[in-house]
Amino acid sequence: MWLGAIAVIVAVSYAVIKFLSGVHWRRLRERQVRLQSELNKNRQRLLALDGTLHVERGRRGAIDQKLDVGRRFKDELFHRLRLELPGPLVAEARNCINHNPLPQPRGVRMFHELKIADKIAKTLQSMAVGLFEFSIPDASVRSSLMDTFTEMLDATEVSYIRGQPGDDEASASLLEESSIVCAFDRASSCVELTRAFIPKAGGDLMGQVRAVLLAGVNTTQHADDDVSRLFARALDHALEFIGHAPQGSLLMNAAAREDVGDTDNAVELFDKAEQLYVFSWQTAAVEESAGEEDSGDGDNEEALGSRDGVT
């Protein structure tokens, strides 16, 4: 009798547990289906938003391109007017352009009126960009000399970029394998480094290296550009001038010449129209040798004088 009662209780418990388990599993399946449906809807919304974002980015890129073209046209127009108009009318032309500006981010016109670009350029006049080209046919000799030069740059904590063959980076791909671009705090630092590098290069290799040094920034035509673009424009000019730089010399602009000073006899006028000056490595080497000989003669005279005094 007791066994029958226990069997009935076990059977009823099993049936209740099975029923409750089935109900719970059905609820779990329904919840899974509902969550999966919501997930699919969210994925569809995300895809739709991605498509809309892609379209808006394309529209923004097209508008930015139009604005860039308009800014360049405005700058070129003002540059032509500045060259062709009489002096009193140049200011009027600038006022006309300022009263009818192209759409720009908020605050740009205000900073134009404050001449913030001119203030930044004034503080950066001492900074310079140097481009060195090692025109040595022998690749091993060229690489060794460039390694020596980069070691000197590392020792003086000068930032630089060395051209690499087949480099995917945008900054390095602009440079030839034989070129090095440096950023100096002052143009005089570049000249001092060049003087220290001349003895290490030697007479044979010294005549196969040329360089360009450009100091300061120009904000007369592109005052709305940022500082990075201004220095990138200086680099473009350096790449243009390097073809005119004589072998065994350092070509510099007027701002770099002013920073170096007028006392350096090795710096001479190279192009009056472009206001370019050339620093001859050969002349500097001769001056260094003459200075060492004068110093040696002075030491010999002091030694002779002391010996005569002892006698």
122: left (phi over 0), alpha (psi -120 to 50) or beta: alpha
pLDDT of 223:
46
pLDDT of 231:
60
How far apart are alpha carbons 212 and 247 in whole angstroms? 11
pTM higher than 0.85, yes or no?
no
Q: Which residues contact 149 (CB under 8 A, 6 or more apart)?
A: 132, 134, 180, 197
Q: Give the residues across from 159 on adjacent strands.
A: 183
Secondary structure element (H or E) that encloses residue 287, with its range: helix 281-310
Cβ atoms of residues 173 and 125 within 8 Å = no
What is the β-pairing status of strands 249-253 and 209-215?
parallel
Instruction: Kindly write down the DSSP assignment for every residue of 245-276, as one continuous string.
Output: SPTTEEEEEHHHHHHH-TT-TTEEEEETTTTE
Mean pLDDT, consecutive 10-residue segments, the chain of 311 residues?
A: 77 83 88 90 88 84 79 74 71 66 51 66 80 88 89 89 66 72 88 87 79 75 49 72 84 84 76 84 78 62 50 39
